[in-house]
Amino acid sequence: MKKILLGILMCVVLPLSSCDKYLDINKDPVNPQIAQSYVILPSMYANMARAVQWDGRYIGQYIQNWGTNTGGNVWEAHGYQFTALDPFSEHFRAHYFGIGRNIDLIIADGEQTGQYNYVGVAKAIRAWSWQASTDLYGPMILKQAFKENQFVFDYDSQEEVYAEVLKLSNEAIEALQRTDGTGTPAKLALGDLVYKGDSQKWIKFTYGLMARNLNHLSRKPDRYQPDLIIEYCDKSLASNADNFNIPFNGSNTLDANFYGPLRNNLTNYRQSQFILNLLNGASFGDTIPDPRLRRMLTVSADGNYRGVLPFRGDPNSTSTNTNTRTRIPNLFGDSVVNNPVNGGRFLFTDKAPLPIMTRAEILFIKAEAAFRKGDQAVAYQAYKDGITAHMDLVSSLSTTAITANERNAYSARPSVAQSAATLTLSDIMMQKYIALWGHGFGETWTDMRRIGNNGIFTGYDPTIYKGFALPTTLFTDNNGKPAYRVRPRYNSEFVWNQKAYYEVGGDKPYYHTIEPWFLEPLAQ
């Protein structure tokens, strides 16, 4: 101890360079102290999944993917809870802390070792994280993010974050396309739990990110580029084999799907009446159910499908109702009635993967862009292919596959547009809603906020999403408006970064109802 103290005292008067070696007492020459990229990368997937599924519980109530069985829930009323418990802020935490500087470590290691495929993967993940986060929170800390020795941080506009997504995406593709260096598929596969080292699939995923980014600007005629969106979609996921699916082992609570029975995070959640009406045909004026209905949703013990209305809960689950056969099961279903697979059903099994991006989503983005361009033929083909791609995905996650006869019969029903000439934007968006149900929460919420036919744009348009109705009771602070953004993390922004947060409006109780940049200037 005396020797160490003496050494430190010597460093006070000697040049620091002469003390570097002496003070470097924590370095182990045998075991490296800096984790390699393949060690860090798996935790990035874990943070992505946690962010999507944690916050998805709350976004899912805003967009009526589901609701709670008890009713009166603040989120179903488009409200918020801004407390130290930090509900609905996991994307913020994951972006700046969980994923955060770890991306820089992967990039630095990849560049130093010449494994440029890791560099490309890291930049693609950061691009995804910027996009997913800004679509929830609006303005973000961009320029000062990840700076060392800084304790307060200024916010930057959502417009700048959108530009950063495109910049990072292009850099990711450039790195993934490099043929020099030491990177190989086998080396990337060591840490790549999703694409097993296939750089081409990462490139497709990144083009999908750019298609998302540009398609969100549909409210900005001077920026919306349908031809470029279609080009990016054509370069993106070509089949369900290209889907970005985060896997789970499902052996215990540590490696199981966040939405499965083992984790038990959805016990009080119930499917909504809105998704039920899309799948039973009611929203389309159809009398025959979609074949995806019995594969995606849970049925009550009496054999009937039911859904909750926002803020009202399940009237059949009250203590005064003793007929348990009419109660709505939770999303992973009753163990007897719903014939669970691996302890659940559909996306709610312990081993079910979490889709971050799917072929179906890309096809519906293409369909929307072509429709806005006025190319009905391309729009209609992408729309039909999107339905098929999602049915194939549902089949892969079900005990019984959707048959060709079921698919063909559904294609001829009123639930599906019968020609390019009759295709509407509503047709595209309602099928996209079905295809993203249970996993694509942020994309669906962005769609529902930005798309509308009504004269004065307000979002959540029932002429697009037929049968959708905002709750009759909205949160007190909303002043009669629905939610358009989320408050960032309480434990960092309100406690440590309050001044900067208030400068972007965080002091206002109705902050969460202010429209984000991608709706401006049409939304005032």
486 phi, psi to nearest 5 deg: -120, 145
Alpha-carbon distance 331 to 407, whole Å? Answer: 24
- pLDDT (tens digit per residue) in 389-416: 999 999 999 989 999 999 999 999 999 9
pLDDT at 223: 94
Q: Specify the DSSP class assigned to residue 469.
A: -
- How large is the average pLDDT for residues 254-263? 94
Nearest to 132 by CA among 44, 34, 224, 261: 44
Q: Can you name the residues that pair with 355 across neighbouring β-strands?
A: 245
429 phi, psi to nearest 5 deg: -75, -35
Question: What's the pLDDT band for 21 if we cut at 50, 70, 90?
Answer: very low
Alpha-carbon distance 150 to 137, whole Å? Answer: 22
Q: By CB neighbour count within 10 A (0-12 exposed, 13-18 middle, 19+ buried), where does 154 fall?
A: middle
Check pLDDT > 50 for residue 32.
Answer: yes
The DSSP-derived string for 333-372 is: --TTTT--SSSS-GGGSSS--EEEE-HHHHHHHHHHHHHH
Nearest to 268 by CA among 337, 350, 309, 329: 329
Nearest to 480 by CA among 517, 510, 507: 510
How far is the CA of 308 from the CAs of 186, 271, 275, 323, 518, in angstroms? 48, 6, 10, 17, 31
- pLDDT (tens digit per residue) in 307-332: 999 999 998 876 566 667 889 989 98
Beta strand 354-357 with 244-246 is: antiparallel
**What whole-number percentage of the chain has pLDDT above 70?**
89
- How large is the average pLDDT for residues 342-360? 89
Q: By CB neighbour count within 10 A (0-12 exposed, 13-18 middle, 19+ buried), where does 477 fall?
A: middle
- Using the structure block, give the residue that is written with the tokens 């599906």: 416
Nearest to 441 by CA among 80, 7, 62: 62
- pLDDT (tens digit per residue) in 94-104: 999 999 999 99
Q: Is 333 left (phi over 0), alpha (psi -120 to 50) or beta?
A: left
- How large is the average pLDDT for residues 214-220? 96
Burial state string for 433-450 with b = 16 or more CB within 10 A and e = fewer than 16:
bbbbbbbbbbbbbbbbbb
Question: What's the pLDDT band for 522 if we cut at 50, 70, 90?
Answer: low
- pLDDT (tens digit per residue) in 465-514: 999 999 999 999 999 999 999 999 999 999 999 999 999 999 999 999 99
How many residues would you count in the chain? 524
Cis, bond preceding 355 (omega within 30 deg of 0): no
Inter-residue contact 300 to 327 (CB < 8 Å): yes
Q: Is 176 helix (H, G, I), strand (E, B) or coil?
A: helix
- Using the structure block, give the residue that is written with the tokens 């081993």: 351
Alpha-carbon distance 249 to 49, whole Å? Answer: 13
Check pLDDT > 80 for residue 70.
Answer: yes
Q: By CB neighbour count within 10 A (0-12 exposed, 13-18 middle, 19+ buried), where does 254 fall?
A: exposed
How far is the CA of 245 from the CAs of 93, 281, 358, 390, 410, in angstroms? 21, 29, 8, 14, 27
Nearest to 488 by CA among 476, 508, 506: 506
Cα dihedral 220/223/224/226 (nearest 10) = 170
Q: Which amino acid is at 364?
A: F
pLDDT at 1: 38
Tokens coding 309: 């209305």
Nearest to 204 by CA among 243, 167, 230, 166: 243
- pLDDT (tens digit per residue) in 454-464: 555 679 999 99
- Report which secondary-structure segment, H or E, holds 120: helix 116-137
Alpha-carbon distance 328 to 315, whole Å? Answer: 9
Q: Is 106 helix (H, G, I), strand (E, B) or coil?
A: helix
- pLDDT (tens digit per residue) in 85-132: 899 999 999 999 999 999 999 999 999 999 999 999 999 999 999 999
Query: Beta-carbon neighbour count of residue 416 at 10 Å?
Result: 17
Residues 6+ positions from 215 with CB-CB distance below 8 Å = 229, 365, 368, 369
Alpha-carbon distance 213 to 166, whole Å? Answer: 8
pLDDT at 333: 77
- Report which secondary-structure segment, H or E, holds 45: helix 37-62
Beta strand 269-271 with 244-246 is: unpaired
Q: Can you name the residues that pair with 272 across neighbouring β-strands?
A: 308
Q: Specify the DSSP class assigned to residue 269.
A: E
Inter-residue contact 173 to 206 (CB < 8 Å): yes
Instruction: Report the chain's mean pLDDT, rounded to a whole number.
Output: 90
